[in-house]
Chains A and B, each alone.
Chain A
Amino acid sequence: MKKKDTGLQPPYGFETRSIHAGATPDPYTGARSTPIYQTTAYVFDDVEHASDLFNLQTFGFIYSRLNNPTVSVLEERIASLENGRACVCASSGHAAQFLVFFTIMEPGDHFIASSNLYGGSITQFGESFRRLGWNCTFVNPQNPDNFKKALTPKTKAVFIEILANPGGIVVDVEPIAAIAHEAGIPLIVDNTLATPFLCQPIKWGADIVVHSTTKFLSGHGNSMGGALVESGKFNWNQNDKFPTMTSPDTAYHGLNFYETFGDFGFCMKARAVALRDFGPSMSPVNAFMTISGIETLPIRMLRHVENATVIAEFLESHKSVEWVSYAGLKSSPYNTLARKYLPQGPGSVFTFGVKGGYDGGVRLVENVKLFSHLANIGDTRSLILHPASTTHRQLSDEQRINAGTEPDVIRLSVGLETANDLITDLDQALDSLK
């Protein structure tokens, strides 16, 4: 019999996987770039095939709300880069977070989250999730014991951002993972700011990783998306906390997801129940843009870090700047953690304090000419934001301070332009504060 080619044997390098994982040439046409399967539905071979698909007895496509061949390529690629078992993409990072919690939580359940989170996540967890009966306690992540103290019998997960948005804060993942695992619950890590190129949280004990792919993964500020990755290592059967994973699912004739799908049971459930019933799927075009973006992720991230370091050093020496919080700076209290968890650099999103408080912040963002004043991060373009007047506006004063967004805080997402041009722009805008 002719020897069948299954490709090279692992392990493959990160750069190779950024380009190839999930994307073998199209079996019918040989198309080398991933085709955009712009279709809503897929034909069944016969009635039996249809019922097998609906019952999850076989693998395949039914309807693009559940899965789509272009989106699947992106999912496998992200799973590979995170060294995870499986991935489900969603229409945004927020949607991915919703899918994760819906797959774990029941009304009345509880989870613990770091208080240093993207402001949108604080609102999602603290306000909207609460209305679903999912209760969140926010704790300061700088002392891992805070997570332990907040545990209750109803606690089903711990959630952190390893590299926090917007503060240039690095969270010590390992001891927090140990606390979660001792309690028999998964650690969920938002890895959006670091990307798997700079940090792979599963290596440090994360059980589920979430992303807003809108940011550095797609990388060009043109495509919304989110992703959840499961490590495949969490034992959902170790206690009775996760009946959604380990007891018969009435929506699937009593199917037990963990028993049937094992180490990718969480992603199967997130897709077959949460994504199916709530519908925040990623579009094939956005998946295609993100697949293309990821192909250059390693070289982009290196340059993002390089530019961020130069800008942070410039700001640190500027007389109109009170302080700079970038974990890559030796002056940062997070520099040691950054070197452990993010040895190639702590990304390119960080904050600094501008003289003149709230008004100074407003003047700065209105006076830049190359930095774009907008609410996003992880673009090729350099971005600037004054959180107190925008993303973190809906938070209480206490929440704002906990999240590291006092009135004088400016957040930068340093892009890939010529570093000197970025410095010149910031310099002229800072001069306008005098």
Chain B
Amino acid sequence: MASKRPHSLFYPDEMILNILQKVRTIAMVGASPNWVRPSNFVMKYLQQKGYQVIPVNPGYAGKEILGETVYSSLSEVPQTFQMVDIFRNSIAAKEIVGQTIPLIDEKKIQVVWMQLGVRNASACMEGELAGLEIVMDRCPKIEYGRLFGELSWGGINSGIISSKRRRLRI
């Protein structure tokens, strides 16, 4: 394994902010019922920020995570969702993008977001050709916290410079 993390991808703040604004419902593939897992942390945080998060995890289909019914696949989710958040590895991400593309119109999907460490260039290209916005190797919780000041409370470099009052939420 490389001693360094791979080079960081660049997404303009405007793009991330726009996604966080237009998306209200997120299907989270790989959501875990274990409260100490990162996916559970992120799901709970996004719920607190007003998003509906629908967990997708075939191992827990029919059960509940954080008050939401778990579905076995994206196509089983009985409502629209604007974003797919992938908490699976980079190889699985390709398959999930493949499952997303045929559902774009039916589910009104606009964005596929891959979590920290998850990158798949060919899945990205396929998704973009199908009209999806793709974000890779980022966490929506961290990005929300970064753009709205909370990440800075942990001494983390947000990269934000502004002489305007910071908004605390969308």
Q: Are A and B a genuine interacting pair, yes or no?
A: yes
Asked if B9 is an interface residue, CB under 8 A from chain A, the answer is: no
Overall SS of chain B's interface: loop
B150: chain A residues at CB < 8 Å are 58-60
Interface residues of B toward A: which range?
35 or more
Q: Which of B21, B35, B41, B160 touches A7 (beta carbons < 8 Å)?
A: B160
- Contact between chains at A238 and B1 (CB < 8 Å): yes
A30: chain B residues at CB < 8 Å are 165
Asked if B158 is an interface residue, CB under 8 A from chain A, the answer is: yes
- Contact between chains at A9 and B153 (CB < 8 Å): no
In the complex, A152→B149 CA distance in Å?
43
Question: Which residues in window 6-34 of A have CB below 8 A to B?
Answer: 6-10, 12, 16-17, 20-22, 24-27, 30
- Contact between chains at A235 and B165 (CB < 8 Å): no
Question: Which residues in window 37-78 of A have CB below 8 A to B?
Answer: 52, 55-61, 67, 69, 71-73, 75-76
- Contact between chains at A27 and B168 (CB < 8 Å): yes
A89: chain B residues at CB < 8 Å are 155
- Contact between chains at B4 and A234 (CB < 8 Å): yes
- Contact between chains at A253 and B160 (CB < 8 Å): no
- Contact between chains at B168 and A79 (CB < 8 Å): no
B44: chain A residues at CB < 8 Å are 52, 57-58
- Contact between chains at B154 and A271 (CB < 8 Å): yes
- Contact between chains at B13 and A9 (CB < 8 Å): yes
Interface of A toward B, CB cutoff 8 Å: 1, 4-10, 12, 16-17, 20-22, 24-27, 30, 52, 55-61, 67, 69, 71-73, 75-76, 79-80, 84-89, 181-182, 184, 232-235, 237-238, 252-255, 259-260, 262-264, 267-268, 271
- A-B pairs, top 9 by smallest CB distance, nearest first, are A75-B155, A7-B162, A59-B150, A79-B157, A86-B156, A6-B13, A24-B166, A262-B116, A238-B1
Interface of B toward A, CB cutoff 8 Å: 1-5, 12-14, 17, 21, 35-36, 38, 41, 44-45, 48, 116-117, 139, 142, 145, 147, 149-168, 170
